Amino acid sequence: MTAPAPAPDFRDPRLTEQRNPRTERIDVATTLEIVDLINAEDATVAAAVRSVRTELARAIDLVVDAFQQGGRLIYVGAGTSGRLGVLDASECPPTFGTPPEMVVGIIAGGFQALVKGLEGAEDDVNAGSRAMDNAAVTPRDFVLGIAASGTTPFVRAALARAQTIGAKTGFLSCSDPPPVLVETCDVLVLPKVGPEALTGSTRMKAGTATKLVLNTLSTGAMIRLGRAYGNLMVDLMAWSDKLRDRGERIVMECGGVDRQAARRAIADAGGSVKLAIVMVMKRVEKNEAARLLAQAGGFVRRAVGDPPPVRK
């Protein structure tokens, strides 16, 4: 009698592609149960990110090193990963007053992929390599590849090209990366959030973990560069009424002055909240404040002392 053929092995070794036993009956759950199931999975993400805190700190230091050499932080990804990289890059100028070219986001498929699903673009290895040339990557840059599954061809090709150029590279993934990336990247950040509530939908837990990592990476690097005073974002660009109001309130709090005086100081400082703080706290004009700030390496605390404590 012929033995039955073994069942085909359909399981994917990538963690993000595996089925989650906790949500296998989500399709028959009530609406509230669906919310609870997804929320329970989301609750595990912060712990996964914390488990890679040492690697994340290493990545921040590499970014700071790149900036101090006149280099850039360049994110490269596809699909959700690429969109999150572009999002983080686009938020740095208004938050930290950085020039747009300091933090760059590259997504497979280009601008159109931000607003329309072009997931097939992730398979184009030639485009990944060209993206690094088009971005004029140099040895001073730090290139972070982002791929939730760990295997995106576009990202792998981009990293390989960046490494050939001599740039430092990192890899952010929620699955174990291929051995070649383990061997060649300067840092690996791998928050393993486990299988998704909906199998393979990496815009969920993996996307949340990616957003947390990128938030920490760019914010941590900017803090290390002196773009915060205490926990105040003193290099913000006042491009809206909300941001103008925030800038004025920061100067009011730090300098103990009223809104009119804060607004006048920011105007005299050419719109720079950081410079206005030094002017008000040290009671000096713009040029002297700029000198003090430059002498302090751009760090407000070094120029004027500690910020006021948080008012309870």
Instruction: Write down the catalytic residue from 122, 183, 285, 288.
Output: 122
Q: How many CA atoms lie within 13 A of 157 on its CB side?
A: 18
For residues 75 and 163, give the distance between their C-alpha atoms in angstroms, rounded to a whole number.
14
Any catalytic annotation for residue 24? no
Q: Give CA 163 to chain center in angstroms.
A: 21
What number of CA atoms fall less than 13 Å from residue 267's CA on the CB side?
6
Q: What is the C-alpha separation between 27 and 258, in angstroms, rounded?
A: 57
Q: Which of 91, 248, 253, 288 is catalytic?
A: 91
Alpha helices in 51-148 (DSSP H): 53-68, 79-96, 112-115, 125-134
CA distance 250 to 244: 10
Output the CA–CA distances (angstroms, integers) from residue 30 to 20, 43, 303, in the order listed. 18, 20, 58
Catalytic residue status for 33: no
Tokens describing residue 148: 């939730």
Catalytic residues: 91, 122
